[in-house]
Structure 1
Amino acid sequence: MNSLLCKVKKIFKQIKEFFNLQVSKFGMLKVVIILITAPFFAIIQWSFAIASLYKFITVVPWSEIVQVIFFTKDHQLNGVGTASALSVLLLAVNVWDGRRKAKRDLLSKSRIEWMTIVRPLIANYVTHVSKYMYLYDLFAFDRNPNTQNEKNKELTEKMEQIRSEYYQIILYVPKNDSNMLLLRNIENLFGEINNITNYYEHGISYGEINDGNPTPEQTLVDEYIW
């Protein structure tokens, strides 16, 4: 019972998140109008489909067709007609099944290729963003002009890598509901490093970020990473 209740809650949570996402994209009024009118148009569409199917069933002379294909003039079973009908049916099933398998295999292959490209791209992007933030922290409090210039050069190279990876991810990952969270995080990271100078200037001016004397452990970690 508890498991069923948890599943129901999870479904309602997903519906609520989907609704909020649509509202943020299209606005409350447009979403409400769609929710009200969609069932109405769906009923009309199904009504036309049912009416067309009923007309097709009632107009076609099924008994005569069956009589011609499966029986002879003497009302005996027509082996040739029956075999031909079954062959056509099996051929149609095989064609449908073959197309279904080909489409499934193509989708699977495309997904595997997509994941092979995108996964390492995202991993490198996150790694390089973290590295950039660490390097910028060292650069911001470096008082040695020589080493500061070296760090600035490395920051520039790292930013070029990040920009390249960012735009590749944006091109590879389609903007749909299933990828919305991933793309939002990618955008947030890109925004963080593009505004890191403003963050540090604000933090330093308000004393929230400082270059206080590091502990021996911090120095050891910095040496290891650097």
Structure 2
Amino acid sequence: MNYFFNNIWKVIIFIVKRTFLTDSGYFNWISVTGIIAISTLIWTVSFNSKKYRADLVSKARIDWMSQVRPLYAQYLAAVPHYIFLYSKAMVDNDENARATLDDEMDEIKRLYYELNLYIPHNKSNKIILDDIDLLWNELSYIVPYFNYGNKKGLFRSELNRYRRSNYESIVDEYISGLINKSSVDGNKYFKVEWEKIKKGK
């Protein structure tokens, strides 16, 4: 075993002498300079590679945010607009509003599905995805909500002399609250995402 280590030690000494000393026994500055140059090259390539990857990730995240943020804003505007049009169609019997309902719902569906495709389903995105789903699910109650309200005369209309009922007020406040909460949550979410971009994460 000692013989083995002695031989390895001799090989190391031989390599060091051949690398750092000339045949005359002087220190070989050229080899040291070469080693420093090679080390610097390796470090530069490694650093630039990491920087390039970080820049690519940052650019991809900026592109992602520039697509998702407008979609989210459009979605937050489209849901209450649809409810408003539905009210005009079902309470006020507005034919123009009734004619646009299908197109408006198609737009909401497009926005909903695009947001779900663009935003990965993971823990860090949960709050914004929950808001998107909650607004989407509220639209499924719109038909029974208006049917009941119309049947009981609970909406402002000519029939009840345009008096606003608690039923209408509570639901309007609830939907407005959802939109405001979603807006605040979205603002916080995109701020966090922007901080990640600035840090190159």
* Distance in 1 separating the partners of 2:161 and 2:18: 98
Which of 142, 160, 163 pairs up with 2:109? Answer: 163
Q: Within the alignment, does 1:88 sit opposite 2:38 as a pair? A: yes
Long gaps (5+) in structure 1 = 1-58, 216-226
Residue in structure 2 matched with residue 69 of structure 1 by the alignment: 19
Q: Which has the higher contact order (CA 8 A, sep 6+)?
A: 2
What CA deviation, in whole Å up to 9, does each residue of 1:79-138 have, x standing for no partner? 121111111100111101111111111111111111111111111111011101111222
Q: CA RMSD in A?
A: 2.7
Residue in structure 1 matched with residue 161 of structure 2 by the alignment: 213
3-state SS in 1 of match to 2:134: helix
Residue in structure 2 matched with residue 35 of structure 1 by the alignment: none
* Distance in 2 separating the partners of 1:71 and 1:136: 89
- The Cα of 1:72 is off from its aligned counterpart by 3.6
Q: How many residues align structurally?
A: 152
After superposing the two structures, state which structure 1 stretch, 66-75 or 104-113, moved more.
66-75
- The Cα of 1:74 is off from its aligned counterpart by 5.2
**TM-score, with structure 2 as normaliser:** 0.65
- The Cα of 1:210 is off from its aligned counterpart by 2.9
1:1-226 equivalence runs, <5 A: 65-72=15-22, 75-142=25-92, 144=93, 147=94, 149-202=95-148, 209-211=154-156, 212-214=160-162
* Distance in 2 separating the partners of 1:194 and 1:64: 82
Letter in 2 for 1:136: Y
* Matched-pair contact (CA < 8 Å) for 1:200–1:209: no
Identical-pair percentage: 30
Q: 1:79 to 1:191 in 2, by over 3 A?
A: same
3-state SS in 2 of match to 1:163: helix
* Matched-pair contact (CA < 8 Å) for 1:121–1:165: yes
* Distance in 1 separating the partners of 2:109 and 2:126: 20
